[in-house]
Copies of this chain bind each other. A is one copy, B any other.
Amino acid sequence: MEKKLPTIKEIAKRLSISISTVSRALHDHPSIGLRTKMAVKKMAAELNYEPNQTAIFFKQRKTFTIGVILPNLREEFFSSAINGIEDLAIGNNYIVLIGQSRDDLEREKNIVESMKKHRVDGILASISKSTTRIEHFEQLKNYDIPVVFFDRVPDVPEVHSVSCNLYHSSVEAVDFLVRNGHKRIAYIQGPPTLNIKNERLNGYYDALKKNKIPVDEHLIVSTDLSVENTQKAFDKLMLVKKKPTAIIVFNDYVALDAIHYARQKNIRINKDLSFVSYANAPLTHYLDYPPIASVEQFPYEQGTRATELLFKLIDQKSAGQEMPYENVVLKSELIIH
């Protein structure tokens, strides 16, 4: 049985006044007499009246809902990011719809469609590793749904984004290793789609040059992030005649897999072979053999900054203005453990 919830109509009837008076009274409209206002509020309280938001959403063309699309929530990076997003959203009386692409483009598209149908006021997205084209996001312009990308940002100019520039930290990472006596520094990079800007590797190259260390292309391998693939990449490095004494790894998870594998091979971590990685995931603190340094990418802050930007866009939109594309870039930081 559907319970019938009270409406302003009901209140109006009981008070024998008009619906609009009730509506205005409830909104503290200045032109309402104090007496009627009180009466209305009293009656509303008695009836336990609550406005039907679906009606309001419908009428106002606004749902106070933002959609968040990201690869997965298992990575601490993303769960931290969503904390930032949620904190700001709640503060602004918004609520968060979530969708995990699981790094699958089709899923990502479905989620976008679903959120579009639900008429979210805006979307925050970190693209999947298989996302190369972003039409599914671009079409949202036709629906006036602003999109802000964060962290995993598509490499096109006409988007709003918040991300962390990893170039300087990559340089720092190499500098740090060199200072510690390393000359053979290898690099395990991630899948190409997540590396378009190549900040990590460019920093690596430039820092080697700066330190007058010749680049050895054999020392640069890549993984698709799967365990097996990472192990293969690692094996390749171990086959190089002059083995590396340090490896910079795409992110902490890959680093953990690599370290785990290396230990099975009786390699002494951070003695025979040192690891530096990206993300600085808290779980590494529990490890006995963590990377000796990791690049902090400030997920919580990326989340809040992206959400701020999104709210700005939503406001501009309802004010009928157009905003130029904004690309916020935070500075990463090499954290030595």
* Interface residues of A, Cβ cutoff 8 Å to B: 1-3, 5, 48, 50, 52-55, 57-58, 61, 63-65, 72-74, 76, 79-80, 82-83, 86, 90, 93, 95-100, 110-111, 114-119, 142-144, 256, 260, 263, 283, 286-289, 320
Give complex CA distance A48, B72 in Å.
32
Cβ–Cβ < 8 Å partners of A61 in chain B:
2, 54
Contact B99 A96 (CB under 8 A): yes
Q: Which residue of B lies closest to A263 (CB)?
A: B288
Residue pair B54, A63 in contact (C-beta under 8 Å): yes
* Separation of A58 and B263 alpha carbons in the complex (Å): 59
A-B contact pairs, 21 of them (CB 8 A): A5-B143, A50-B117, A53-B118, A57-B58, A64-B118, A65-B97, A65-B118, A73-B73, A73-B83, A82-B98, A83-B100, A86-B98, A90-B111, A90-B114, A95-B97, A95-B99, A95-B118, A96-B98, A263-B288, A286-B287, A287-B287
Are B114 and A95 in contact, with the CB atoms below 8 A?
Answer: yes
The 5 closest A-B pairs by CB, nearest first: A73-B79, A288-B288, A54-B58, A58-B58, A98-B98
Q: Are A2 and B144 in contact (CB under 8 A)?
A: yes
Closest chain B CB from A271 CB (angstroms): 15
- Name the residue of chain B whose CB is nearest to the CB of A141: B3
| Nearest-neighbor residue (CB-CB) of A80 within chain B | B74
Number of copies: 2
A98 partner residues in chain B, CB cutoff 8 A? 82, 86, 96-98
Q: How far is the CB of A66 from chain B (nearest CB, A)?
A: 11
Which residues of B have CB within 8 Å of A86?
98-100
Residues on B with C-beta less than 8 A from A114 are 90, 93, 95
Closest beta carbon of chain B to A202's beta carbon, Å: 30
Q: Which residues of B contact A3 (CB under 8 A)?
A: 142-144
Residue of B nearest to A144 (CB): B3
Which residues of B have CB within 8 Å of A320? 1-2
Chain B residues within an 8 Å CB radius of A97: 65, 95-98
**CA of A311 to CA of B90 in the docked complex: distance in angstroms?**
27
Residues on B with beta carbons closer than 8 Å to the beta carbon of A73: 73, 79, 82-83
CB distance from A73 to the nearest CB of B (A): 4
Nearest Cβ on chain B to A288's Cβ, whole angstroms:
4
Return A98 CB to nearest CB of chain B, in Å: 4
Bound Cα distance A289, B263 (Å)? 14
A1-B142 Cα distance, complex, nearest whole Å: 11
Task: For the complex, give the distance between the alpha carbons of A150 and B117 in Å.
Answer: 29
Closest to A119 in B: B54
Residue of B5, B48, B50, B115 near A95 (CB, 8 A) is: B115
B256 close to A286 (CB less than 8 A): yes
Q: Select one of B1, B83, B111, B286 contacting A283, CB under 8 A.
A: B286
Point out which of A54, A90, A289 has the most chain B C-beta atoms below 10 A from its C-beta.
A54
